[in-house]
Amino acid sequence: MDKIVVSNLDLFYGDQQALKTISLAMAEKSVTALIGPSGCGKSTFLRSLNRMQDLIPNVKILGQVRIDGQDIYADDTDVVLLRKRVGMVFQNPNPFPKSVFENVAYGPRIHGEADKKRLNEIVETSLHGAALWNEVKDRLHKSALGLSGGQQQRLCIARLLAVEPEILLMDEPTSALDPISTMKIEELIAELKNKYTIIIVTHNMYQASRVSDRTAFFLNGELIEEDVTSNLFTRPAMKKTEDYISGRFG
Ligand SMILES: Nc1ncnc2c1ncn2[C@@H]1O[C@H](COP(=O)(O)OP(=O)(O)OP(=O)(O)O)[C@@H](O)[C@H]1O
C-alpha cells in the first residue's frame, strides 16, 4: 500500500525551480532511495515530505503530498504532529549536548510524557530499536557527545523512534561515517523497514542497491525514472539513468 503519494510537486526557491512536477508514490514499510548528482533536488524533495521548507523564506510549493491520503500542505495540517510522524536524520549526526538518556527522552517529554517509569521504558525500547542499547546501557547518563559518530547517528535514530514516527527520512545518513558504522546503519535500515516507511538520499549507488526496494533517479529537479532497485540498476529504461549509473556524469 502507498504511504506517501506525491503528485505534480513543483518547488521554487525564489525564482529558481528546484523540483519540476514530481509525481512519486512510496510504499508503506519499504525503503525508497533517491539518487542523482549534486544539486538535482534530492534533499529538497526529501524535506518537502515533512514540510521542512516551511522554515526557509521565499519558497513556493505547488502540487500535493499525501500521507495516508491526507494532503500535508492543507491549511489545517498540524505541522508539529506531521514532523512527529515524519522524522528526519541528517548527514552529520546532531545529538543534543545532553546525556544519552536525555537525548531520547526529549521528544516524548515535549509531547507531554512526564511519567518517569514510562520514559525509562521508551528510552530503552528506542535504543533497542536503533540497535544501540548494548553499547550505551552502562552510560545512559553520560554525554551523548562522547559517543562515536556511528553511535551518535544511531542515537539520532533512537531519538526519532521515541516519538513513534511512521516515516523516517534519511538525508545521506552515512556519508560522515566509517565503513563499519555505515554497515551497522544499513543493517539497522533493513530492520527498521519492518515497521517504518523509509526514504533515503544517498550518493552511494552501492548503498542504494543494498538497502532499498525502489530507487528514484533525479536530474536537474526532474524525476527521470523510478523502479524496483534491481531493475533500475541493471535495466534502466532511460538513457540518462544509464549514463548516470554507469558513471558517465555526476
Ligand atoms: N535553501 C535554499 N535556498 C535556495 N536554493 C536552494 C536551497 N536549498 C537548495 N537550493 C537549490 O536547489 C537545488 C537543489 O538542491 P538540493 O540540495 O535539493 O540538491 P541535492 O540533490 O540534495 O544536492 P546534494 O546531493 O549536493 O545534497 C540546488 O540548485 C540548490 O542550490
Q: Report how far ligand 1's centroid is from the alpha carbon of 43 (Å).
A: 7
Ligand 1 center to residue 32 CA distance, Å?
20
Report CA(249)–ligand 1 centroid distance (Å).
Answer: 18
The 10s digit of each residue's pLDDT in 5-30 is 999 999 999 999 999 999 999 999 99
* Tens-digit pLDDT profile for residues 144-173: 999 999 999 999 999 999 999 999 999 999
SS3 of the chain: the string is CEEEEEEEEEEEECCEEEEEEEEEEEECCCEEEEECCCCCCHHHHHHHCCCHHHHCCCEEEEEEEEECCEECCCCCCCHHHHHHHEEEECCCCCCCCCEHHHHHHHHHHHCCCCCHHHHHHHHHHHHHHCCCHHHHCCCCCCEHHHCCHHHHHHHHHHHHHCCCCCEEEEECCCCCCCHHHHHHHHHHHHHHCCCCEEEEECCCHHHHHHHCCEEEEEECCEEEEEEEHHHHHHCCCCHHHHHHHCCCCC
Residues 91-142: pLDDT tens digits? Answer: 999 999 999 999 999 999 999 999 999 999 999 999 999 999 999 999 999 9
Give the C-alpha separation, 6 to 52, whole Å: 16
43 lines ligand 1 (CB under 6 A): yes
Residue of 11, 40, 220 best suited for mutating to test ligand 1, as the one with most atoms within 8 Å of CB: 40
Place of cell 532497485: 229
C-alpha cell at 199: 526514504
**In the prediction, which pLDDT does 88 show?**
96
Q: Enter the pTM of the model.
A: 0.95
Q: Are strands 16-27 and 31-35 parallel, antiparallel or unpaired?
A: unpaired
47 Cα nearest atom in ligand 1 = 18
Q: Which domains does the chain have, with CATH numbers?
A: 2-246 (3.40.50.300)
| Ligand 1 midpoint to CA 14 (Å) | 12
Contact 224, 241 (CB under 8 A): yes
Give the atom of ligand 1 at the shortest distance from the alpha carbon of 203. Answer: 25
Report the phi/psi class of residue 247: left, alpha or beta, with left for phi > 0 and alpha for psi in -120 to 50: left
**From atom 14 of ligand 1, which residue's Cα is the shortest distance away?**
41
